[in-house]
Structure 1
Amino acid sequence: MGLFEKIFGSHSDNEIKRIIPVVDKIEALASQYAAFSEEQLKAQTGILRDRLTGGATLDEILPDAFATVREASRRVIGLYHYRVQLIGGVVLHQGRISEMKTGEGKTLVATLPVYLNALTGHGVHVVTVNDYLAARDSEWMGKIYRYLGLSVGLIVHGLNNDERRAAYASDVTYGTNNELGFDYLRDNMVTYKNLMVQRDLHFAIVDEV
């Protein structure tokens, strides 16, 4: 480590320092969300979407959205996002790479920015390396999204165009890089727009980049 880095810190350290106040806001909401009834927690999806419609930005609703997913995850699948996972979630939302060690829960981390960005109604893609992981995560993590009122789709080999179109119309769509990539290429070769299976691309998270 050079003298400059010792004094001023690395770029990653400085970026994390900027994220810490956001994470503090999320953690400060924990007791409030833990006290919510099932109906109150599930209602947050509609409330947050109304805030977006009213002019709020994704960054402005991020603390409440992350707190919602965090509590829903605890209730539905028994997993609670740790502080380092909240940091990773903010990094992914910002469109950057979040490098985490094995066992630090990368799959769970992704639920935070996925839920937040799915609130726009434009759809979110979660890209995995194989059909098994896509199917597993769409069912496992999908329980959180469905609990909060979001739809979940799965793109795997063997689906026809109608099935693919329905999956892509979901709030959250899981699939492999091969399937999503080839669907994109095929969509760019069709003669008529109604033959396309994907809608406009909005936000994606690549698991194991």
Structure 2
Amino acid sequence: MSFLTKIFGSRNQRLLKQYQKSVRDINALEPQMEALSDADLQAKTTEFKQRLAGGATLDDLLVEAFAVCREAAKRVLKMRHFDVQLVGGMVLHYGKIAEMGTGEGKTLMATLPVYLNALSGKGVHVVTVNDYL
């Protein structure tokens, strides 16, 4: 391990620290999202699209969009994204590969970057090798 790595951490450690800050921010929005009506939660998508049209980036919207997606999953699927799934969603959004074991919620995790990137209106492709997914 180099001297600089000992002081500043590895690149992965620095990225994980950044992702964990976003996870804290997403978690902090949870009570606000829970308080929204279904209509208000749906309206967030239109709001995000308008903000993108106004110059915001997907990265600017990530925390709020992930919080909205998590709340929608809780209401519709009765499933809540765990923090590790939030991190996995960020990893995929940033074009990296996330390795998760069987049963760790890869399918649920994928909804996060799919929702975020669909906001741009450019389409999102999801590929799976399992027929049941």
TM-score by length of 1: 0.59
Structure 1: any 5+ residue segments left out of the alignment?
Answer: 138-209
String of CA shifts for 1:113-132, please: whole Å, max 9, x gaps.
000000111100001114x1
What code does the residue aligned with 1:97 have?
Answer: I
What code does the residue aligned with 1:57 have?
Answer: T
CA–CA distance in structure 2, aligned partners of residues 127 and 88 of structure 1: 16
Could you say which residue in structure 1 is the equivalent of 2:86?
86
CA–CA distance in structure 2, aligned partners of residues 102 and 9 of structure 1: 29
Q: Map of 1:14-93 to 2, 5 A cutoff?
A: 14-93=14-93
CA–CA distance in structure 2, aligned partners of residues 15 and 101 of structure 1: 21
| Deviation for aligned residue 1:90 | 0.6
What code does the residue aligned with 2:66 have?
Answer: F
| Deviation for aligned residue 1:21 | 1.5
What code does the residue aligned with 1:113 have?
Answer: P
Q: Map of 1:1-209 to 2, 5 A cutoff?
A: 8-130=8-130, 132=131, 136-137=132-133
The structure in which a higher percent of residues are strand is 1
CA–CA distance in structure 2, aligned partners of residues 76 and 105 of structure 1: 16
Same amino acid, percent of matched pairs: 55
Moved more, 14-23 or 62-71: 14-23
Q: CA RMSD in A?
A: 1.6
The DSSP-based 3-state class of the residue aligned with 2:125 is: strand
TM-score by length of 2: 0.91
CA–CA distance in structure 1, aligned partners of residues 120 and 96 of structure 2: 20
Tell me the number of residue pairs that the alignment of Structure 1 and Structure 2 aligns.
Answer: 132
What code does the residue aligned with 2:110 have?
Answer: A
| Deviation for aligned residue 1:12 | 2.3
CA–CA distance in structure 1, aligned partners of residues 84 and 67 of structure 2: 14
String of CA shifts for 1:139-167, please: whole Å, max 9, x gaps.
xxxxxxxxxxxxxxxxxxxxxxxxxxxxx
| Deviation for aligned residue 1:24 | 1.4
CA–CA distance in structure 2, aligned partners of residues 124 and 80 of structure 1: 22
CA–CA distance in structure 2, aligned partners of residues 8 and 60 of structure 1: 26
Determine which structure has more spread, i.e. the larger CA radius of gyration.
1
| Deviation for aligned residue 1:100 | 1.4
| Deviation for aligned residue 1:6 | 6.2
The DSSP-based 3-state class of the residue aligned with 1:43 is: helix
The DSSP-based 3-state class of the residue aligned with 1:124 is: coil
String of CA shifts for 1:138-197, please: whole Å, max 9, x gaps.
xxxxxxxxxxxxxxxxxxxxxxxxxxxxxxxxxxxxxxxxxxxxxxxxxxxxxxxxxxxx
| Deviation for aligned residue 1:10 | 3.9
Higher relative contact order (CA 8 A, sep 6+): 2
| Deviation for aligned residue 1:3 | 7.4
The structure in which a higher percent of residues are helix is 2
What code does the residue aligned with 1:78 have?
Answer: K
